[in-house]
């Protein structure tokens, strides 16, 4: 039972955390190894059931094609929620149940976060429809057909990364907007993966010209943050309430998880941004493809952050029935481990590790007492983690976990 003082403390802490908004998780990006994460993914047998980008098993879903972002909290919540099903299926398939160290889980999460930001090859059939619907052929030619006002698209067919493609469009944006206006053609906005599909169509139409391949180097979140300032993006877009206000605060915007799709969002706002920048006497930023990739990496990393409310977590601890088995007060005995005694810093990754390694025993005990496995949303999991951290008197400290920054 909590004392009144404890309740008051938790209430205040919860308020504080909600006001503090987001807490960075994947920003440092120094210690995790995304390639090592792939090794963990393969060696622990995850790849036997789950595919990534179409490669791997088919028993479970392809982890790059599910709806959530690569945010570790969402991954942890999904893992928590589906763990009993996974254990049951693994038992049926006679698969060995692996255990994870925190480092392994962290590397695997970093890998999954990164891989989920990768664009998949587009659909050329859809791309053809986009090409026609957006009237690209009015100005551009491909395969010997189309207009000659803009560049022949065969010349950019070697670009394999949608970010490079958007960078090319971005740099010619003002000219394109003028030309479109003169011809009475509306500015082409793209949805979802349309830009990637369009690129796929261009490649197929270009034939052998697309055999040459031009890639981008893996982007740097740190360089991206620096470019975000030097290219004066910060003058319009704030980060954590710092910076300009004429554009949206990028730490509060929910961006798509794939780089090509983030770049598409940026392209869709090009006319508006151009106008606002001109009004604020900010020169239109020319971006090398690699620079754009770096900036997008920085923006992507912002979506890796999470926060929670200790007071909400405390309520969940009761409503989800955790309190029935786990004590939280030092020295108190309970059927399941006293969670107030956990010394390890709790993050979505450490919680996932503990849950995965000890979960089967927990599930067995719950089944013996006719209890159901508690399913938690990512928000609920965040609240629960902050609450459990608060029990150690460390709840106000930002919960940090080093990771990749969500970039390759």
What is the contact surface with another protein in residues (CB under 8 A)?
Answer: 35, 38-39, 42, 48-49, 52-53, 55, 57-59, 115, 118-122, 124-125, 143, 159-164, 200, 203-205, 207-208, 211, 213-218, 260, 408
Residue with tokens 């909290």: 73
Q: How far is the CB of 145 from another protein (least distance, A)?
A: 11
Q: How far is the CB of 173 from another protein (least distance, A)?
A: 21
Q: How far is the CB of 257 from another protein (least distance, A)?
A: 13
Decide whether 84 or 219 has the Cβ nearer to another protein: 219
Decide whether 59 or 177 has the Cβ nearer to another protein: 59
Residue 117 in tokens: 């930001």
CA distance linking residue 405 with residue 237, whole number of Å:
20
Q: How far is the CB of 159 from another protein (least distance, A)?
A: 8
Decide whether 262 or 282 has the Cβ nearer to another protein: 262
Decide whether 158 or 334 has the Cβ nearer to another protein: 158
Q: How many CA atoms lie within 13 A of 187 on its CB side?
A: 16
CA distance linking residue 349 with residue 352, whole number of Å:
5
Q: How far is the CB of 78 from another protein (least distance, A)?
A: 21
CA distance linking residue 62 with residue 65, whole number of Å:
5
Decide whether 2 or 35 has the Cβ nearer to another protein: 35
**How far from each other are the two terminal CA atoms of the chain, in whole angstroms?**
47
**Continuous segment of H or E residues that includes residue 55:** strand 55-56
Q: How far is the CB of 269 from another protein (least distance, A)?
A: 22
Q: How far is the CB of 376 from another protein (least distance, A)?
A: 29
- Name the region of 39 (left: φ>0; alpha: ψ -120 to 50; beta: rest): alpha
Decide whether 301 or 328 has the Cβ nearer to another protein: 301
β-pairing, 145-146 vs 141-142, is antiparallel
Using alpha carbons only, what angle is made at residue 44 by residues 336 and 300, rounded to the nearest 5 degrees? 90
Residue 68 in tokens: 């959530």
Decide whether 374 or 408 has the Cβ nearer to another protein: 408
Q: What is the dihedral of CA 389, 391, 394, 397, to 10 degrees?
A: 50
**Continuous segment of H or E residues that includes residue 52:** strand 51-52
């Amino acid at each position: 039972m909590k004392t009144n003082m404890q309740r008051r403390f938790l209430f205040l802490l919860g308020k504080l955390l909600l006001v503090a908004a987001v807490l960075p998780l994947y920003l440092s990006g120094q210690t995790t190894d995304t390639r090592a994460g792939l090794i963990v993914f393969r060696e622990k047998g995850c790849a036997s059931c789950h595919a990534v980008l179409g490669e791997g098993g088919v028993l479970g879903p392809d982890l790059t094609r599910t709806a959530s972002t690569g945010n570790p909290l969402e991954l942890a919540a999904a893992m928590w929620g589906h763990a009993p099903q996974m254990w049951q299926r693994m038992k049926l398939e006679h698969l060995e149940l692996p255990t994870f160290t925190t480092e392994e889980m962290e590397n695997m999460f970093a890998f999954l976060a990164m891989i989920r930001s990768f664009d998949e090859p587009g659909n050329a059939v859809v791309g053809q429809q986009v090409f026609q619907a957006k009237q690209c052929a009015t100005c551009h030619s491909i395969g010997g057909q189309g207009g000659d006002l803009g560049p022949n698209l065969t010349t950019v067919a070697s670009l394999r990364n949608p970010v490079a493609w958007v960078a090319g469009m971005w740099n010619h944006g003002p000219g394109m907007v003028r030309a479109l206006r003169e011809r009475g053609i509306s500015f082409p906005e793209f949805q979802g993966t349309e830009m990637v599909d369009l690129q796929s169509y261009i490649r197929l139409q270009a034939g052998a010209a697309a055999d040459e391949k031009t890639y981008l180097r893996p982007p740097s979140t740190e360089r991206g943050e620096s470019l975000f300032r030097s290219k004066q993006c910060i003058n319009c877009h704030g980060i954590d309430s710092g910076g300009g206000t004429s554009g949206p605060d990028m730490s509060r915007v929910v961006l798509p998880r794939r780089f090509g799709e983030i770049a598409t969002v940026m392209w869709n706002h090009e006319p508006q941004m151009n106008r606002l920048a001109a009004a604020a006497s900010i020169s239109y930023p020319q971006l090398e493809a690699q620079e754009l990739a770096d900036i997008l990496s920085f923006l992507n990393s912002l979506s890796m952050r999470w926060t929670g409310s200790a007071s909400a977590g405390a309520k969940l601890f009761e409503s989800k029935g955790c309190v029935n088995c786990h004590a939280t007060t030092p020295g108190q005995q309970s059927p399941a481990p006293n969670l107030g005694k956990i010394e390890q810093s709790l993050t979505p990754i450490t919680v996932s590790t503990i849950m995965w390694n000890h979960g089967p025993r927990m599930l067995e005990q719950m089944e013996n007492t006719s209890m159901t496995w508690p399913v938690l949303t990512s928000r609920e999991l965040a609240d629960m983690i902050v609450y459990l951290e608060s029990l150690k008197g460390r709840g106000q400290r930002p919960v940090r976990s080093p990771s990749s920054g969500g970039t390759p």
